[in-house]
Amino acid sequence: MTSRTLIKDIAAQPDGPVTVAGWVETVRDQKKVQFVILRDESGAAQLVNPATRELDPEGVSVGAAEALALTESISALTHGSFVKVTGQLKHDERVKLGGLEVKVGTLEVVSGALETPIAADSSLDKRLDWRFLDLRQPKQNLIFRVQTTFLHALRGVWIEKGLIEIQTPKLMASASESRAELFEVDYFEGKAYLAQSPQFFKQMAQSAGFGGVFEVGPAFRADPSFTSRHATEFTSIDTEISWIDSHEDVMALHEELLVAGFQAVADKHGDEIRELFGVEVTVPSRPFPRIPLAEAKQIVADHGYVVPRADADMDPEGERRISEYVKETYGHEFVFLTDYASSIRPFYHMRHEGDPSLTNSYDLIFNGVEISTGAQREHRVDVLVEQARDKGMDPEELEFYLDFFRYGVPPHGGFGMGLARVLMLMLHEHSIRETTYLFRGPTHLLP
């Protein structure tokens, strides 16, 4: 591997020789001195070179020729070119960029760049077309370092609790939820479907006696939406646990995971987020507020907004309104909406004992947007069959799934949560397109 020092690490080094490498962010080519801002994946540093514009007419020394060649090389640098530089590191508090400067000794252009087709103020669609260039921006880079820290913290909780990480297949023989949102693909002489979620397979792990599982992986929805919160392919954070008494146990784990994730992000990236995004990462307190859906609808109605359909889920405006209420009343950015009607929930959600019109389920709303659905699952196979029929599904197409429950399975439940939505709302961005590495939507398949 090419020997180099990450820019974030040079501050701890004494004055002296150093090698850095990255891409050219800016060049200030002045008459007597040249400055280059070099950025790598960890930060930026200022390079300096005393410019040599003319050679001694009475004789050209080797050193003078090399100095002229270096000056010309720097003058010719284009924005975005990747270069490797050796030189002398000097700590100088007068230098605005971290009080560090590297006097260039040698400069190697590893890969030159054409003029960049995007700018910081380019439209989001154009930036997405040139995503690999857009991601060089410090703000965009930070999103995915935050994502790494967040997921690492979640994994720490899962592993500490003894949960098992699984990787479920993304090709399925039948629908796990609504066939209307399935991508159908040719599969040899038949058809297959891209998985909407790992739901069936994480439930299978409960029947297998795993006790608890988690997965971070892709999910697919054939939803022709162009909103700021929808994608046709997204990263889903899923977990499923056995031996629960109700969906309250799932919510408790959900809270623990989010508190750990937000705490880790605040501790590691809080200052950078404040600088680049202008927002404060607030670590949520436990327990999160819980409001039954019917009560939440009444609250927003009392505050001037009626959800259009009484028999429907909370709509986006309702989610915003209930979040405002919770923020004002409880000082909290999260709220669990519970006790959803069975008519708007999947067939595998357990229904209330004594009131089959309601389910042991919830949606988690964060800063006005739904980020997750969770529930206690129905583990009694005869009840599952009837609930599938109620939803107009053919139990014969679900035989492989129903078999999971014919040979014994403990009471269990879990949730699925959209990673990009969490990051979008944490960083107060306006679209999951900003917080998705490579966005996929109805009209966006490249790069």
**How do beta strands 290-292 and 334-338 pair?**
parallel
Cα of 23 vs its chain's centroid, Å: 25
- For residue 122, what are the CA distances in angstroms to 316, 335, 431, 441, 444? 28, 35, 15, 20, 17
Residue 21: how many CB atoms within 10 A of its CB? 19
377 is in an annotated binding site: yes
145 is in an annotated binding site: no
87 is in an annotated binding site: no
In sequence order, what are the beta bridge partners of 413?
Answer: 241, 376
Helix (H) or strand (E) segment spanning residue 323: helix 316-330
Domains and CATH numbers, the chain: 7-111 (2.40.50.140), 125-426 (3.30.930.10)
The tens digit of pLDDT for each residue in 320-366 reads 999 999 999 999 999 999 999 999 999 999 999 989 999 999 999 99
406 is in an annotated binding site: no
321 is in an annotated binding site: no
Q: State residue 179's pLDDT score.
A: 65
Average pLDDT over residues 407-420: 97
The tens digit of pLDDT for each residue in 70-85 reads 999 999 999 999 999 9
221 is in an annotated binding site: yes
Phi, psi of 172 (to 5 degrees): -125, 155
131 is in an annotated binding site: no
312 is in an annotated binding site: no
In sequence order, what are the beta bridge partners of 86?
Answer: 19, 106
The tens digit of pLDDT for each residue in 121-173 reads 899 999 999 999 999 999 999 999 999 999 999 999 999 999 999 999 999 88
Q: Which amino acid is at 204?
A: M
370 is in an annotated binding site: yes
Q: What is the pTM of this model?
A: 0.92
Helix (H) or strand (E) segment spanning residue 70: helix 62-75
